[in-house]
Structure 1
Amino acid sequence: MNTNSSPSVFGAVRLGYLVIETDRFADWRRFGTDAIGMHHDDLAADLMRFRLDEQECRFLLRRGPAEDVVVTGWHIDDHASFERIEARVRAHGVPVVQGSAEEAALRGVERLLRFPGPKGITQEICTTPVVSSEPLRMLASGWVTGDSGMGHVAITSTRPAQLRGYFDTVFDARLTDYIDETISGMKLKIRFLRVNERHHTIAIAAVRGLPLDPVRTRVQHLNVQAATLDDLARSYQRVHELGFHMALSVGQHTNDKELSYYARTPSGFEWEVGWNPVVVDESTWQPSTHQGISIWGHTPVGQTIVGKLDQFRLGIRSLAHRETTVPALSGAGVPDD
């Protein structure tokens, strides 16, 4: 539901780009170009980009120790919606910083603003993505982007109501559905939020009954949508042949019906390549709860007892650290429907 007094910006927002901080440039170049099949551009010794389509930048990689997604970039369709979002953030007393011309150029955008986001992930809004004149050079035939954005991000959280409240306040995000799942003995509830017709752009997973976060990275996985089933199958084969770790085998999700697999990136979070998810019809859609993430498949690949113990240790360690939120933009949190 829209808790804002200003007109809704739902539908004018889409995931535009992500900034990843890593010291593993050689591995990321192989992963993004040779395994996933994206277009790659080296900008400098400590900067590179991947493209999915005609836009100059979809992933900006900068050198640093985080080994994680550090920025989520949102393309806003029009200047009125951009200014509406900026006004909302400022009205809640949250600092807004204007990006420099150089920062905007690296992201291939205009009119760049940033402000704090949940789990320490900086949120950026921008207008007018720059279209590259350079032809795409990539192994994939194409990726589905356009008005619904470039895919989605999934985040694990000990404070899911606050995260949902944040994206409702800032972007008028709508609840699409829930999934209840048990993974390695932990009962999870996953909330799926949309900001346009894409089934979800944000997924928030929380352990039921415990303020526990079993994932080291801020982002658990990110998703890109392959143009064809053949593209998905070929990239799956390349990930195996090049020796990158597969997290989950090919399967089909219960809620959005997307066919996908999950590979482990050089930074440790997961990268989902999907195909053919459902598109939400706003006139008929009603949120519902699904049991389990998959109709079939998505079985763990190469998971060991040591890996499970490491995940358990991370979860226990998270109990001692309060998760970063932005209370001013989270309201009281949005209760589950």
Structure 2
Amino acid sequence: MALASLGYIGVRSSKAADWQDFATQLLGMQQVDAGGKVRAFRMDDRKQRLIVSGDGDEGLDFMGWEVESPAALDALAGRLENAGVVVRLETAALADQRHVARLISFRDPEGNKLEAFCGPAIASEPFLAGRAISGFKTGSLGMGHAVLHARDVDVLLPFYRDLLGFNVTDYGLKPFKLYFFHLNGRHHSFAMVGTGRQGMHHFMVELLSLDDVGQGYDLAQTEEGRVAYTLGRHSNDHMTSFYANSPSGFFVEYGWGARVIDPETWEPHETFDGPSYWGHDRLYMAEDSPDRTRLREMRLEAARRGMRAADPAPSCAWLDAIVANE
């Protein structure tokens, strides 16, 4: 498998100060010095996971996907070029800005910029959270997950699944197409939703404690309009989370307790139960909107059926990786 995990996300925004407060005081990330108009944030032992640049329109700038070695990066570049995708070998200067050894970039069929890299730099100083949290679940599972709007899922699907090697975890076809993909034990590192739009729908970060999420939810509710989805639990990855409106207009999911799958034995399947067992009421939608009503009815049907998710075993991906290497 060429791609190993989601390494980092880049965002374009003219609201650097808002992102600074949002990322540190609500999400609990650590701001690090990036210079100029750029704001960068840590989540763990990596030198950066989130990069916010002051250039361009608000929204997704790039997604950075990690591969295991220089040979894997070369193989990926060759496969893309053979498929007619324009691949750029980025300069050492840009690789240094990303804190990686080598870096390529390319675009998907809808124009979203992707980067692939190897050799991430490890910080010499310990992670210092922006607020009192127990930490983020990263390690071999990566930064979290990213979800894109898709103008046409049928165009993007072969690119991500067949060319890049993302593995389908599960999918839904009604009322719109929605695909979830895994690269490792995280239920999904990437997803696409056929809304007819383009750009970032949301990215997710996972915490090590449910209390981190609950306290974040309390903090978010002190800001008018900050909560986009109420606290709830997803039916496919079993994440307990809420969604916040980011300064750039897309959502950030803040969660705990997602299931960890076995990529070797997992079988992709279609889902019919709706996105959540409970909660996740879309506050950004009008109270009487058909979509909000439909999603509410799905949750009530889950309640009538008594649908449940198994509680997760306590674990820390970063610590598990350290123990495995000893």
* Fold match by TM threshold 0.5: yes
> Deviation at 1:63?
0.7
SS at match of 1:34: helix
Instruction: In structure 2, give the amino acid aligned to 1:30.
Output: D
Instruction: In structure 1, give the amino acid aligned to 2:56.
Output: P
Work out the CA distance in 2 between the residues paired with 1:167 and 1:235: 33
Q: Are the equivalent residues in 2 in contact too, given 1:249–1:298 (CA < 8 A)?
A: yes
Q: Are the equivalent residues in 1 in contact too, given 2:234–2:277 (CA < 8 A)?
A: yes
Moved over 3 A (4+): 302-309
> Deviation at 1:151?
0.9
Instruction: In structure 1, give the amino acid aligned to 2:280.
Output: H
Work out the CA distance in 2 between the residues paired with 1:308 and 1:17: 35
Matches within 5 A, 1:145-164: 145-164=138-157
Q: Which one of 17, 20, 32 corresponds to residue 11 of structure 2?
A: 20
Work out the CA distance in 1 between the residues paired with 2:138 and 2:163: 22
Q: Are the equivalent residues in 1 in contact too, given 2:144–2:206 (CA < 8 A)?
A: yes
Work out the CA distance in 2 between the residues paired with 1:192 and 1:303: 23
> Deviation at 1:249?
0.6
Question: TM-score, normalised to structure 2's length?
Answer: 0.82
Work out the CA distance in 2 between the residues paired with 1:69 and 1:237: 27
Match of 1:203 in 2: 191
Q: Matched residues, percent identical?
A: 30
Work out the CA distance in 2 between the residues paired with 1:244 and 1:104: 37
Q: Are the equivalent residues in 1 in contact too, given 2:110–2:151 (CA < 8 A)?
A: no
Q: Are the equivalent residues in 2 in contact too, given 1:250–1:259 (CA < 8 A)?
A: yes
Match of 2:135 in 1: 142
2:174 pairs with 1:194: no
Matches within 5 A, 1:1-337: 8-9=1-2, 12-138=3-129, 139=131, 140-179=133-172, 187-207=175-195, 212-213=196-197, 218-243=199-224, 245-290=226-271, 291-301=273-283, 303-304=285-286
Q: Are the equivalent residues in 2 in contact too, given 1:119–1:218 (CA < 8 A)?
A: no
Q: Residue deviations 1:107-151, cap 9 Å, x none?
A: 111111111224322111111110112332212221111112111
Work out the CA distance in 1 between the residues paired with 2:148 and 2:88: 24
Work out the CA distance in 1 between the residues paired with 2:257 and 2:158: 29
Work out the CA distance in 1 between the residues paired with 2:100 and 2:74: 16
Q: Residue deviations 1:196-237, cap 9 Å, x none?
A: 221111111125xxxx33xxx601111111111111111122
| Residues 1:284 and 1:96: Cα distance change in structure 2 (over 3 Å) | closer
SS at match of 1:71: strand
Q: Are the equivalent residues in 2 in contact too, given 1:13–1:171 (CA < 8 A)?
A: no
Work out the CA distance in 2 between the residues paired with 1:179 and 1:151: 21
Work out the CA distance in 2 between the residues paired with 1:157 and 1:302: 20
Q: Are the equivalent residues in 2 in contact too, given 1:35–1:242 (CA < 8 A)?
A: no
SS at match of 2:200: coil
Work out the CA distance in 1 between the residues paired with 2:173 and 2:219: 32
Instruction: In structure 1, give the amino acid aligned to 2:114.
Output: Q
Q: Are the equivalent residues in 2 in contact too, given 1:179–1:293 (CA < 8 A)?
A: no
Q: Are the equivalent residues in 2 in contact too, given 1:49–1:61 (CA < 8 A)?
A: yes
Instruction: In structure 2, give the amino acid aligned to 1:299.
Output: D
SS at match of 1:219: strand
Q: Residue deviations 1:149-177, cap 9 Å, x none?
A: 11111112131122121112332111111
Match of 1:319 in 2: none
Gaps of 5+ in 1: 1-7, 182-186, 310-337
> Deviation at 1:53?
0.4
Match of 1:315 in 2: none
Work out the CA distance in 1 between the residues paired with 2:26 and 2:125: 21
Work out the CA distance in 2 between the residues paired with 1:194 and 1:271: 19
C-alpha RMSD of matched pairs (Å) = 2.1
Match of 1:318 in 2: none
Instruction: Provide the aligned length of Structure 1 versus Structure 2.
Output: 288
Instruction: In structure 2, give the amino acid aligned to 1:163.
Output: L
Q: Are the equivalent residues in 2 in contact too, given 1:36–1:238 (CA < 8 A)?
A: no
